[in-house]
Structure 1
Amino acid sequence: MEHNHEFEGGHEHRHDHDHGPEHSKYEEALAKYNIRLRDEDVKAKTALLIEKHVAENNTPDVKKFLFHCIDLTTLKCTDSDESVMKFTGKVNEFVDKYPDLDNVAAICVYPNMAEVVNDTLEADHVNIACVSGGFPSSQTFTEVKVAETAMALHTGADEIDIVIPVGKFLSGDYEGMCDEIEELKAVCGEHHLKVILETGALGSASNIKKASILSMYSGADFIKTSTGKENPAATPEAALVMCEAIKEYYMTTGRKVGFKPAGGINTVHDALVYYTIVKEVLGEEWLTNELFRLGTSRLANLLLSEIVGQETKFF
């Protein structure tokens, strides 16, 4: 798989000193990036960017675009075939009710619901995303994660969202973490793999940067902030660090990786903040729902209300 080798070759001239055999390829990979970040610097930079640019993005067109980037999500223990069918039915109805608006990007469900969505979904250009790999804790056998991912794809998933093994990452087992992502990307093949960092559990901007680089190195097509099951969930600071990592990775490898904030996106203003960070750090090229998604269910009605100019509880 070619994505394993993006860092191989070309690193000899970057290091004047020999790290010896114990210096793993993962540390070699990380050595190409600025991973020593100060949390207070990130906070200040994020605040400045928001203050300077969010207001200019508060437009009807941006809100329509943001709606089109939503991964409309239901991940409740009460989800059932009936409730997911109804949830999907709303996305179908949207086409007739709002013919001038682009639909959501995807419907995101648990793997056992992929088939129900696949059987019910009639709207064009809406993908089926499944959380997989022992979501949300990622604490299960790799074999189970592989099987769950394969079954989700087999029953209709177009995209897979997994969580990094956070414990492995925090204890420095980069090989264990990266091997697992590579294996799941191999199962996905051409299907997009979104890798959730669970930024709220990582503890520092430097860790978020490292986890971003390692996930992309291992084949992630998207990196995503959070599961929404841990606090804090997505934050603008985490988003800034992840987008800077995506940019540096693109400059190094030529590969574009998408960004998905998720968890705690409760207001239209929150969505505009993430849009602004993507636009300012990554540029217009990333402002497409091929490279930018928002994981939320609450936001759909809020955005729709602002787009149509009256309170709307459609979803």
Structure 2
Amino acid sequence: MEYKEEEKSKYEVVLNKYNTDLSDKDIQAKVAAIIEKKVPENDTVEVKKLLFHCLDLTTLSTNDSEESVMKFTEKVNQFDEEFGEMDNVAAICVYPNMAEVVHDTLETDKVQIAAVSGGFPSSQTFIEVKIAETAMAIMGGANEIDIVISVGKFLSGDYETMCDEIQEIKDTCKDNKLKVILETGALESASNIKKASILSMYSGADFIKTSTGKQQPAATPEAAYVMCEAIKEYYEETGNKVGFKPAGGLNTVKDALIYYSIVKEVLGHEWLNNKLFRLGTSRLANLLLSDIKGKEIKFF
């Protein structure tokens, strides 16, 4: 027990370097101002092309099969032939058992292979299972891994277990990117979102991500603002650049423009590329293409 108290204090020391006493109302006001003033000026074809290039094209359905994932991947292959003047999506994101199907089907090395892992979407399984699943996904060809924090452990103040899991999974990933999902809709407050962001980055996250899309509310602009502020402060404190990924509930082009505007205002131009900014969605692919081309396109 003494060991756990000592470990917990280590995480409290980290958190004390940052302002985690946040006002939800204050954040709502700041986000509303960005949406009102900045989204209209960012509504351009060039921005939409960048947003398309930042997509993690995702299929996480109960009825996914080798055949359906193969067809999904083949569409990404065909994109370069039909829209050669545009940059392709950033990644294809699938369940871990489908990483090998994507790897065997994908013809371009510019599109990454992401797999959800670690007992996605609840994270309610043994750490040994989380590590094994992650290792098997990477063996299958995944070079990016998306996991969910142990939300229950975090909310009960057991930062040690939550952070140890992230560190162990990152060790398993080695040089492959680890995206850590906070499931912000379950975190109850802006202060908790800020704390979870900092602890995830401290534990080795290469990206922090809002949501699984399996729980409501999913991504919100307010959560995104808090996470981007955490990324900025963490970079100023450590020199480490961590990426940001909103996911879940991105239904319209305006949604994408809102997240772009928040990243631009809080983190600046350095983060406006698909090495540090991703959007987890599939439905936005056709909507962005349609806006870019000025006509309805149902390619994906």
TM bucket normalised to smaller: over 0.9
Residue of structure 2 in register with 1:164 after alignment: 149
What is the distance in 2 between the residues matched to 1:102 and 1:217? 32
Question: Which one of 247, 252, 255 corresponds to residue 240 of structure 2?
Answer: 255
Aligned-partner SS, 1:143 = helix
Q: Using the TM superposition, name which of 213-222 and 47-56 deviates more.
A: 47-56
Q: SS of 1:24's equivalent?
A: helix
Identity of aligned residues (%): 75
Tell me what 2:130 maps to: 145
Q: CA deviation at 1:123?
A: 2.3
- Counterpart secondary structure, 1:118: helix
Paired residue secondary structure (2:50): helix
Choose which of 258, 261, 266 in structure 2 pairs with 1:281: 266
Structure 2 unaligned spans of 5+: none
Question: Alpha carbons of 1:23 and 1:118: their partners in 2 closer, same or farther (altered >3 Å)?
Answer: closer
- The answer for the alignment partner of 1:229 in structure 2 is 214
Matches of 2:154 and 2:7, distance apart in 1:
18
Superposition RMSD on alpha carbons, in Å?
1.0
Match of 1:67 among 36, 46, 52: 52
Within 2, Cα distance between the matches of 1:239 and 1:91? Answer: 28
Q: Which of 228, 235, 254 does residue 269 from structure 1 map onto?
A: 254
1:184 to 142, 150, 169: 169
Q: Aligned in 2, Cα 1:94/1:150: closer, same or farther, shift over 3 Å?
A: same
Task: Give a deviation string over 1:231-275, Cα, whole Å, max 9, x none.
Answer: 000000000000000000000000000000000000000000000
2:288 is aligned with 1:313: no
Q: Deviations along 1:254-298, whole A, 9 cap, x unmatched?
A: 000000000000000000000000000000000010000000000
**What TM-score comes out, normalization by structure 1 length?**
0.93
SS state at 1:129 partner: strand
Q: After superposition, what is the alpha-carbon deviation per residue over 1:186-211, rounded to whole angstroms, capped at 9, x for unaligned?
A: 00010000000000000000000000
1:102 is matched with which residue?
Answer: 87
Aligned pairs (5 A) from 1:24-43: 24-43=9-28
The C-alpha deviation readout for 1:108-157, integer Å capped at 9, x for no partner, is 00000000000000023000000000000000000000000000000100
2:41 equivalent to 1:56: yes
For residues 204-223 of structure 1, the aligned pairs below 5 Å read 204-223=189-208
Report the 3-state secondary structure (helix = DSSP H, G, I; strand = E; otherwise coil) of the residue aligned with 2:115.
strand
2-side partners of 1:133 and 1:237: how far apart? 26
Off by >3 Å, runs of 4+ in structure 1 = 20-23
Q: How far 1:21 moved relative to its partner? A: 5.8
1: CA distance between counterparts of 2:109 and 2:121? Answer: 29
Contact 2:7/2:160, CA 8 A, preserved across alignment: no
Q: Distance in 2 between matches of 1:76 and 1:238?
A: 25
State the aligned residue count: 296
The whole-number CA distance in structure 2 between the counterparts of 1:53 and 1:305 is 22
Q: 1:93 aligns with which of 72, 78, 84?
A: 78
Query: Which secondary structure does the structure 1 equivalent of 2:215 belong to?
Result: coil
Q: Distance in 1 between matches of 2:189 and 2:15?
A: 16
Q: Give the drift of 1:23.
A: 6.3
Task: Please report how far the alpha carbon of residue 224 of structure 1 lies from its aligned counterpart in structure 2 after TM superposition.
Answer: 0.1
- Pair 25,88 (structure 1): closer, same or farther in 2 beyond 3 Å: same
* TM-score, structure 2 as length reference: 0.98
1:37 alignment partner AA: L
State the shift of 1:49 in Å: 1.3
- Distance in 2 (alpha carbons) for counterparts of 1:159 and 1:201: 24
CA distance in 2, matches of 1:22, 1:111: 32
Q: Residue 248 of structure 2 aligns to which amino acid in structure 1?
A: G
Gaps of 5+ in 1: 1-19
Partner of 1:125: 110
Q: Which amino acid aligns with 2:235?
A: Y
Q: Hey, what's the Cα distance between the residues in 1 that align with 2:260 and 2:163?
A: 29
Question: Aligned AA for 2:20?
Answer: I
CA offsets 1:84-110 (integer angstroms, 9 cap, x no match): 000000000000000000000000000
Distance across 1 between alignment mates of 2:74 and 2:34: 39
